[in-house]
Structure 1
């Protein structure tokens, strides 16, 4: 997989690609990347990449010209037929087979989920547009962007940070980056959150590792971990239980665990 990242501040992303598991994936040739500095495509001597928005309002907006030229350098020219008339875009563009998928990270995009990360991990090339200031000109989105993605219901000053969040969730799912076993029971896999983890020492600050994890009984450990996953999900993200049911992800064993935990909680609440 190759990431192309269009940014005004490429130095913000170097550490991400040159550290930890990502650096190893790059060294092994599983992941490739290109950092494209949008300022390199500005035409004036000051390398201007922003201006005031039409219609007024606070802040500055990224200019379409430099961003368009940067995208053309990555994707190749995609010019509409010259009809002599002003175009009004009504439908999102359709990506041709083999073209990189273009993503604009923005607070107004669709929520980013593990399902989306899995989908994106199957692509060969991803292009990220990192916005700044008040964002980017809508015409760039209409012309180039396949997905507008939000990493949460909040606003960041840096599109680079949001792009890193998406890339980090995606690249680790690419075959060969990390072991498949590490992915099978982590949070959001199978519609549940992850169970608690423990390591040495057996006793830390008076707190002991649950005895079941020291038993060597793999079936007991499996059942304990399932129950803990369900208990955590019910406590923190009960909405995920309903979504997992609708998706058919919950086994009969899981449903029995849910019923049992719910019953015990109900009895405790009634006692209180």
Structure 2
């Protein structure tokens, strides 16, 4: 998968992209990441933002430099590739694991990060975009939600993590993941469940399934169908 990040602040992404699962996926060739600084797409005398029509506080990001970047990415890409332009936005659909799964099947993911009071609404009229929200709260810009979307999507790209690890994670089967334990077997009087020390893999698998169901019932009953 090719990932294209369109932002005013590319320096936010570089340290994270070089670490852990995404870093290994990039190093192994499963994912490539390019940064497109919106300021570099400005023409002489242009600004990246302007005051909102109709008045009001703050500044609104202008369309022109963003569309130039997106158009250039599309022009350089193979004609028949599967591509999506994703814009983090509080007005977007709530981002869920199913969305990460869908995005992981793309050839190219373009993440456009807004800032200030957001991007001129007409972006969605001239570019086919998908808007996603992480929840009902406000962030300073689109960089942090873009990182979250990138992380949850990239880990599902073939070669990023082992397939069995991806299949067993929370939400993949509509439930939360089971509890996990490691050494020591006892800490301050709290013991690891005996079944996990038994070596009986059938019992362990059944215990984990039941714990997953029980945790979901207790903590996220909305996930139950």
Aligned to 1:9: 9
Q: RMSD of the TM alignment (CA)?
A: 1.5
Deviations 1:39-72 (A, max 9, x none): 0011246x62111111111111001122122222
Aligned to 1:50: 49
C-alpha contact (below 8 Å) 1:108/1:149 kept by paired residues: yes
The residue number in structure 1 matching 2:172 is 189
Matched, 1:103 2:83: no
- Distance in 2 (alpha carbons) for counterparts of 1:19 and 1:227: 34
CA drift of 1:135 comes to 0.6
- 1:69 is matched with 68
**Residue 134 (structure 2) aligns with:** 151
4+ residue runs of structure 1 moved beyond 3 angstroms?
none
1:220 pairs, out of 183, 203, 224, with: 203
Task: Provide the rounded CA distance (Å) in 2 between the counterparts of 1:214 and 1:146.
Answer: 49
- Structure 1 length-normalised TM: 0.78
> Which protein shows a greater Rg?
1
* Structure 2 residue ranges without an equivalent (≥5): none
Query: Which residue is equivalent to 1:142?
Result: 125
Question: What secondary structure does 2:131 align onto?
Answer: strand
Q: Distance in 1 between matches of 2:69 and 2:159?
A: 31
In 2 relative to 1, CA 99–170 (structure 1 residues): closer, same or farther, beyond 3 Å?
A: closer
Is 2:113 the counterpart of 1:130? yes
- How far did 1:145 drift? 3.2
Q: TM-score, normalised on structure 2?
A: 0.94
Q: Distance in 2 between matches of 1:213 and 1:99?
A: 43
| Equivalent pairs, count | 223
User: Which one of 183, 190, 208 corresponds to residue 200 of structure 1?
Assistant: 183
Taking CA–CA contacts closer than 8 Å with sequence separation of 6 or more, which of the two structures ends up with the larger relative contact order?
2
Any gaps of 5 or more consecutive residues in structure 1? 78-95, 243-272
Deviation at 1:213, TM superposition (A): 0.5
Give CA deviations for 1:92-149 in whole Å, capped at 9, x if unaligned: xxxx842521111101001111111101100000111100011111222211133111
Q: In 1, are the aligned partners of 2:82 and 2:106 still within 8 Å (CA)? A: no
Cα distance in structure 2, aligned partners of 1:146 and 1:53: 22
- Find the counterpart in structure 1 of residue 159 from structure 2: 176
Query: Greater CA deviation, 139-148 or 226-235?
Result: 139-148
Q: Using the TM superposition, give the Cα deviation of residue 163 of structure 1 relative to its aligned residue in structure 2, in angstroms.
A: 0.5
Inter-partner Cα distance in structure 2 for 1:100 and 1:234? 37
Q: Does structure 2 retain, via aligned residues, the 8 Å contact 1:31–1:171?
A: yes
